[in-house]
Amino acid sequence: MTTAEKYRQLEKSPSINIARYIFSCVKANSTNSTLGDEIIEIKTGKTPSKQNKKFYEDEYFDWFKPDEIGSEKYLFEAKDKLSKFAYENNQATVYEPDTILINAIGDVGRISILKVKASSNQQITGIRLNKKIDVDYAYFYLLANRHFFYVDLFQTTLPIVNQKKINSIPLVYPDVEEQRNIIDGLVEINKINSITNLKIIKNLN
């Protein structure tokens, strides 16, 4: 199964459908904003020249590609690496941990949370949000509302989401404590895999 197929299954899962309902319910009593208003850092990746072998001569720094974005919620290690030479010569876009990586070309809107300092190629954009937004809340919100990436999308041969578009995406959020309550509930709901697990819901507020 490809990452794109796996991600579409995730979008259709019961927990994400419940997440959509929750986000629609909290909208009336929450802050209505945009990603751009809450982003403290936005960067797009780079691909160092393949003609210079020194950029790839050792496996010093993780370098993510689109087929890894959305494969898992959290990303810890990339399949491909850049060299220390590339890192030290500013040939890599450096993302901090808890950056949300967004697939921005082709199958746009797939996301994962980066848990280590790393880089990516130019088909990926990373965003870091301010302390008002729990990164896991943003993950569930963007996963449940992937359609926002496709509103008035700039179309070429491949769909492209640029930084301006990412900044314009609507974001609704309650206070951080309530965000974490929502996250905890969705994590518990995601554990339901049979009718006998439905008792989990009874323990949720």
Please tell me the pTM assigned to this model: 0.91
Residue 35 sits in which domain range? 3-202
Q: Where are the alpha helices (DSSP H) in 28-147?
A: 35-38, 84-88, 135-144
pLDDT at residue 95 in the model: 98
CA 135 – CA 158 distance, rounded (Å): 28
The 8-class DSSP code of residue 95 comes to: B
pLDDT tens per residue, range 116-161:
999 999 999 999 999 999 999 999 999 999 999 998 776 666 788 9
**DSSP labels for 160-196?**
E--HHHHHHSEEEE--HHHHHHHHHHHHHHTT--SGG
CATH number at residue 147: 3.90.220.20
- Angle separating helix axes 176-189 and 14-26, nearest 10 degrees: 160
The 8-class DSSP code of residue 105 comes to: B
CA 40 – CA 200 distance, rounded (Å): 37
Q: pLDDT > 90: what percent of the chain?
A: 79
Domains identified in the chain, total number:
1
Give the residues across from 44 on adjacent strands. 125
Single-letter code of the amino acid located at 96: E
Structure tokens at 192: 């339901």
For residue 25, the surrounding DSSP H or E stretch is helix 14-26
The CA dihedral of 176, 178, 183, 187, to the nearest 10 degrees, is: 150
Mean pLDDT to the nearest integer, 2-27: 91
Single-letter code of the amino acid located at 162: N
Who's near 153: CB < 8 A, 6+ residues apart? 108, 159, 160, 161, 165
